[in-house]
Copies of this chain bind each other. A is one copy, B any other.
């Protein structure tokens, strides 16, 4: 039993102010106080110090709305950027982003996670990215398809990569010399939503990804819910039928085995929607061409996803569901089946829940990973020691690094 609501805060507010000005742009002191839920007095104190240290500056005043006009505060210079990397079974996608989330560079490097020295290879790839990064680097965020036990250890269980209890966090930290935050890939998307996306209006929501697999991140009260071993949100392995196709996890009848990429393709091949050697792209094109059998594959997948997600919504009670992942590009084909099944299966009280489909770009996974770093100024509890390092770096003068 821990006294919740009581945790060491360090100088969280200082970092949060800088983070807020970076991610949201110029804001008044009163706005900062409201957004961070701290008292105006604290903001005055904090900004006074940051002004003295010339990390922030007073910009123009904004016209009054009936009271004293607000003075906008802004960062003196780019307070820093972050590197984000998404690890997959065959490549690592890397982006370098600014504090406001704009992507500066984006690239992809082949990667074999099953190689004996995979971790060394990953270190190397990231070391290059760190070296190539221009400007003040706050840290590196890494997202991967698996459970990350605790941020402190960065211990990773990722069956699809063939990684079991691999101390990814610690090893990368040792190799890179900058703060490294590691988390489940879907959780990183949620972190991005918290800082830049729908999380700004919704304290509790869910991110659901469709693509190779099916994933989910649960955000409660503004922070990502990780479960006892960092494995929360594994909805891809919810059993949806008594028997069913085999799944990569070793069981049969998992949701993912039906509506994950491989499952879709297998179903499509079986029903003749695509040929025996067809791929997800073949299926997508067939659907786009209006081929009924292909449309039916997606519609069935939508139904099954809808039914299962209804159960997850009942369990978690999110205020919003955000759909992401490669698969949403074909969402129009999932949608009819999904909506029909999802809404119908929800309890009446939940039936009105909003489902938002985000447009998807290739580097979104990596941007999410970078958001892990950019979100850490706002989340003292979750990010642990590495987050503290990020917060410390946020306050060091950028020019020192240049």
Contacts and interface: CB of A to CB of B under 8 A. Distances in A.
24 contacts: A1-B35, A1-B194, A4-B379, A4-B382, A5-B7, A6-B9, A6-B380, A147-B317, A204-B228, A216-B315, A220-B225, A225-B225, A227-B318, A228-B317, A229-B349, A232-B316, A233-B315, A234-B347, A237-B314, A249-B348, A251-B345, A251-B347, A315-B315, A315-B316
A234 B317 contact: yes
A149 to B, nearest CB: 11
Interface residues of A, number: 74
A278 interface: no
A381 B249 CA distance: 38
B249 A1 contact: no
A350 interface: yes
Interface stretch (A57-65, A82-90, A304-312): A304-312
A381 B223 CA distance: 14
Contact of A5 (B157, B315, B317, B379): B379
A1 B318 CA distance: 16
Interface stretch (A195-203, A279-287, A392-400): A195-203
A35 B235 CA distance: 34
B13 A250 contact: no
Given A1-B199, A233-B315, A345 B225 contact: no
A9 B4 CA distance: 9
A239 B235 CA distance: 14
Contact of A226 (B233, B317, B320): B317
B347 A378 contact: no
A110 to B, nearest CB: 27
Interface in A203-220: 203-205, 216, 218, 220
A221 B159 CA distance: 26
B1 A381 contact: no
Contacts of A310: 238-239
A278 B262 CA distance: 48
Contact of A344 (B202, B251, B350): B251
Nearest to A23: B1
A231 interface: yes
A2 interface: yes
Given A232-B315, A317-B230, A318-B227, A6 B38 contact: yes
Contact of A3 (B37, B249, B314, B315): B37
Contact of A378 (B3, B238, B315, B350): B3
Contacts of A6: 9, 12-13, 36-38, 380
A60 B147 CA distance: 47
A231 B350 contact: yes
A325 interface: no
B202 A316 contact: no
A201 to B, nearest CB: 9
A22 interface: no
A311 B239 contact: yes
A157 B352 CA distance: 15
